[in-house]
Structure formats: C-alpha cells, structure tokens
Amino acid sequence: MSFREKSAWVMAAVLLAVGAFYVKLVTVDGVPPAAAAIPFVLAVIVLSVAAQIVLAIASPKEASSPADERERVAIDKAGHFSSYVLAVGVLVGLGQFMLTADGNGMFHTMLTCLILSQVSEYGAQVFFFRRAM
C-alpha cells in the first residue's frame, strides 16, 4: 500500500472518529455550535498532525516525495467527487434554515456534511488509487 493510500485511510479514520464525537456532543449532550466545533477542530488538527508524523517516520522517503502522475489524477478525481457531497450538504443546510430558521441546526448540518465530504474524498482517493484509470 502506498504512503498516500495509507494517509487517506488514516485521515478518513480520524475524521470518522472525531466526527462521531462531534455528533455525540450535538445530539446526545446538546452542546451549542461553538462549544462543539472548537474541540472538534482542535482534535482533527492534533490527531491529523500526529498521524502524519507517524506515517512519515514509517516511510520517510515516500513522505517527502510529491504525488506522482497517477496519484495526482486520483486525488483530483476524489476532490471533484467530494465537492458534490459538500454541495448537497450546503443545499440541505440552506433548505433547513429556510424551513426552520434554526441557525444552530444549519451550522450542525453543514459541519456534518463538511466532515462527510472529507471522508468521501479520502474514500474516493483509496478507490481511485486501486482501480484502473
């Protein structure tokens, strides 16, 4: 498995784990947006940096090399795919606000869709790294 595929798996796992934590804070604990989003963002930053450091220590040569031509195509396609997930999330959030006038609800919906779009981007990267292009 290439360094970038490992990185995509790890980042997807980090986002899913921290995203689940965020959803729990919002749905179970009823935490307001700022109080839920700040620990979420901090956890994503800290865990992502830690995971990338561990991966770079395990494969220093690959970590310092830029993505090659096949990886760049896969990364671009995955980014394109995830943009649709994000766009749907934005439309759902806007529709939710139009119907309920609930700004907190819109915030949570959009942040959840941002997490989902990132997870879908990493998932699509793994898919395109493996399939024929």
Partner 1 sequence: MGKRTPITNRVRELREANGAMSQAALGEAVGVTRQTIIAIEQGRYSPSLETAFRISRLFGVGLEDVFGWEEE
Give the footprint of partner 1 on this chain (CB under 8 A).
Answer: 1-2, 5, 62, 65, 68-71, 129-133
Nearer to partner 1, 98 or 133 (CB): 133
Q: What region does 132 belong to: left with phi over 0, alpha with psi -120 to 50, or beta?
A: beta
Task: Look at the block and give the residue holding tokens 């090399």.
Answer: 65
Shortest distance in whole angstroms from residue 132 CB to partner 1: 4
Nearer to partner 1, 61 or 98 (CB): 61
Nearer to partner 1, 22 or 128 (CB): 128
User: Letter for the amino acid at 76?
Assistant: D
Shortest distance in whole angstroms from residue 67 CB to partner 1: 9
Nearer to partner 1, 29 or 69 (CB): 69
What's the sign of the alpha-carbon dihedral 127, 66, 7, 89?
negative
Shortest distance in whole angstroms from residue 9 CB to partner 1: 14
- Which residues have C-beta within 8 Å of that of residue 78, sequence separation ≥ 6? 121, 122, 123, 124, 125, 127, 128
Shortest distance in whole angstroms from residue 56 CB to partner 1: 16
For residue 27, the number of C-alpha atoms closer than 13 Å in the C-beta half-sphere is 8
